[in-house]
Amino acid sequence: MLKSLNFDRLGTYASAICAVHCLLTGVALGLLSFAGFGFMGSLLADVAFLAIAVIIAIIAIFHGMRRHHSYRPAMVFALGLFMVVLGHFVFRHEHSGTGHGLDIEEVVSTFFSVGGGLCFVLFHVLNSRLQRACGCKHCASGE
């Protein structure tokens, strides 16, 4: 089952959801709370989304490296992870929802968090494309 699972497709969806989560909670936490989705702004949700994205990405990195032998997708993922860590832990992506308007730290935090999530999506797309385009003997024989 794990061999037939497309981790890049799964990771693309998970990363896109992560990026949308960061955008929505950074911009519209009050609306999310009103709609019953206040839990989306919790630290637990942030950690859960990040953990899922990282686990899927690690599997996809190793699988991709065996197929296309390129470090480029892993570097894009590392950049995304760096941006997410900056957005969540350096600039305090807290989702306070105080209603006092956006301050510069919230804007920068949201920028890095969404940018990191988009890097995760780009990583999976690039990894998948490199695997499909690889014409080496190893990939052509299906070994």
CA distance 15 to 3: 21
Sorted by where each begins, the domain ranges of the chain are 7-136
- When the pLDDT of each residue in the chain is averaged and rounded to a whole number, the result is 74
Over residues 96-116, the pLDDT tens digits come to 544 455 578 878 887 888 888
Backbone dihedral region for residue 69 (phi beyond 0: left; psi -120 to 50: alpha; all else: beta): left
Higher-scoring residue by pLDDT: 137, 20: 20
When pLDDT is averaged across residues 1-23 and rounded to a whole number, the result is 66
Over residues 31-69, the pLDDT tens digits come to 555 655 555 566 777 788 788 888 888 888 888 888 888
Q: Is 124's pLDDT higher than 70? A: yes
